[in-house]
A = this chain, B = another copy of it.
Amino acid sequence: MVTKHEDPDCQHCNSRYRSVFCDLHDAQLHDVNLSKHCNHYKKGQIIFHQGMRPAGIFCMNSGKVKLSKTGGEGKEQIVRLARLGDILGYRSLLSNENYSLTAYALEDASICFIPKSTFFTVLAQDANLSMQLMKLLSTDLKHAEEKITEMAQKPVRERLAEALLFIKETYGFTEDGQTLNVALSREDIANVVGTATETAIRLLSELKQDGIINLTGRKIAIIDNQRLINTANLID
């Protein structure tokens, strides 16, 4: 399932300056580099599963990942989208709990695994890493609280517009400068927004009718960014 490839080197990792490890001292980075190993995942593969025990953290080298929570009736809610340089599984490791989310590869991905022991050793040696992690958790928490508020107060159309802007922020555009650089199914989009798949499909069609976006299969192009922002009705 998971294929071991030539491991990249943390010192020269293309995601180094995007990650929470960016300020690590050479000695600590060396430790991480020695104990980590890198895995390749195929599209659709699970990196870790809700309920399982964490044994370390994951650092994304390439690819795209969705993190989602499965609710009572088995319905999925996408809580986060991850890309190069993002770390996964730190929340559960820090609070010493089993994973509360499942991580799925949205496309082929290369992801390094850093064992728990190394992570906590480095954490004890580098106060700056603690600070970075606290900042990361703090902003994650702020966004989560904003999302709760929006789920309670905004209609689906506004949340859908916002989700498209969020996807744009996370993965950017392809070379044409307007097509979202990720292939999400309509169901995935519905599970980001927190609505039924049919509703998401209908409202996407509406946005297309309104000339705000374009749809070509799974390709979504934002053709009127300002009107999309207006539609999202963002809070300050």
Q: Which residues of A contact B (CB under 8 A)?
A: 51, 69, 71-73, 75, 77, 79, 91-92, 94-97, 100-101, 124, 127, 130-131, 133-135, 137-142, 144-154, 194-195, 233-236
B residues less than 8 Å from A145 (CB atoms): 69, 79, 100-101, 144
Q: Which partner residue on chain B sits nearest A100 by CB separation?
A: B142
Contacts A71-B235, A133-B134, A134-B133: A91 and B141 contacting too (C-beta < 8 A)?
yes
B residues less than 8 Å from A101 (CB atoms): 145
B residues less than 8 Å from A131 (CB atoms): 130
Q: Which partner residue on chain B sits nearest A192 by CB separation?
A: B152
Contacts A141-B140, A141-B141: A153 and B100 contacting too (C-beta < 8 A)?
no
Nearest-Cβ distance from residue A189 to partner chain B, whole angstroms: 13
Q: Which partner residue on chain B sits nearest A147 by CB separation?
A: B148
Q: Which partner residue on chain B sits nearest A120 by CB separation?
A: B131
Contacts A71-B149, A72-B234, A149-B77: A91 and B142 contacting too (C-beta < 8 A)?
yes
Q: Which of B137, B142, B233 is the one whose CB lies under 8 Å from A134? A: B137
Q: Which of B91, B124, B146, B147 is the one whose CB lies under 8 Å from A138? A: B91
Measured in the bound complex, the distance between the Cα atoms of B64 and A1 in whole Å is: 52
Measured in the bound complex, the distance between the Cα atoms of B91 and A233 in whole Å is: 25
Contacts A71-B153, A95-B139: A77 and B195 contacting too (C-beta < 8 A)?
no
What are 19 A-B pairs at a CB distance below 8 A? Answer: A71-B150, A71-B153, A72-B233, A72-B234, A73-B153, A79-B148, A79-B149, A91-B138, A92-B138, A94-B135, A95-B142, A101-B145, A130-B134, A137-B138, A144-B144, A144-B147, A144-B148, A151-B194, A152-B195
